Every structure is written in structure tokens, then in C-alpha cells.
Amino acid sequence: MRVILLITMLTLSSGVIADDGFAKKLFEARCTSCHQLPEPSMLNARQWKLVLQTMQTRMQHKEMTPLNEDEIELIHGYLVSQSQ
Ligand code: HEC
């Protein structure tokens, strides 16, 4: 229930229509350059938010194009939807 609410809030706040297929592809494309794909169920929603911020900083340090706000929200929504 909390998860559904969170995804709805994220979707409404950004105007992004959550699309699992696209979010999954984005996650797989953006999260495998430095290490293997993490398991969505290893963290909860709040922890994923923090990890995504950390990864954002790491991308900047590597001079990679960092994720934009919409991409962060899509990936976060996908991770949370898969973590139950
Ligand atoms: C610029 C390189 C880079 C990218 C891109 C990247 N990561 Fe990481 N990530 C790291 C490094 C460095 C570590 C710590 C050492 C390790 O585990 O390899 C790490 C560790 C992690 C961890 C383990 C927890 C931690 O903080 O040590 C998770 C979970 C994680 N990354 C998730 C992600 C996700 C989700 C994405 C895509 C949004 C992503 N990473 C993209 C560099 C990156």
C-alpha cells in the first residue's frame, strides 16, 4: 500500500507516466557501467533514494552524464516496485 502511494506520488509530482518496461531498460542501461546490476529487493524505498543519490555523485566524478530527475524517479519507482 505504501509502495503504491509512493509510486503514485512520484508519478504525479514529475508528470512522468511510470512505464515498467522503460524504467527497467533505463535501470539496466545506467546501472551496469561500473558494477553488476544490483538486486532490487536488497534495499527499501528510502535506502534506494540514498543509493541513487550516491551513484549520481559517482557518475559526476567519473564525468559520466548523471541521471536527470525523471530518470532517478523512474529507476527509483522500478526498484521499489520490484523490491517486495
Ligand atoms: C560511475 C560508476 C557507477 C555507476 C554508473 C553506478 N554505480 Fe553503483 N556503485 C559504484 C561504486 C564505485 C560502488 C561501490 C563499490 C562497488 O560495490 O563496486 C557502487 C555500489 C553500489 C551499491 C552497493 C551499495 C553501496 O553504496 O556501496 C548499489 C546498491 C549500487 N551501487 C546501485 C547502483 C544503481 C541502482 C545504479 C544506477 C542508477 C548504479 N549503482 C550506478 C559506482 C557506480
Cα 67 from chain centre: 9
Per-residue confidence (pLDDT) for residue 83, from 0 to 100:
83
Q: Which of 37, 39, 50, 58 to mutate to test the pocket of ligand 1 (most atoms within 8 A of CB)?
A: 58
Determine the distance separating the centroid of ligand 1 and the alpha carbon of 34, expressed in angstroms: 7
Model confidence at 47, pLDDT cuts 50, 70, 90, reads very high
Per-residue confidence (pLDDT) for residue 1, from 0 to 100:
59
Question: Percent helix, strand and coil across the chain, each rounded to 5?
Answer: 70, 0, 30
Per-residue confidence (pLDDT) for residue 26, from 0 to 100:
95
Nine-digit cell string for 27 = 535501470
Domain range for residue 15? 2-82
Domains of the chain: total = 1
Determine the distance separating the centroid of ligand 1 and the alpha carbon of 40, expressed in angstroms: 13
* Least confident range of 2-6, 10-14, 43-47, 67-71: 10-14
Model confidence at 50, pLDDT cuts 50, 70, 90, reads very high
Determine the distance separating the centroid of ligand 1 and the alpha carbon of 3, expressed in angstroms: 23
pTM of the model: 0.83
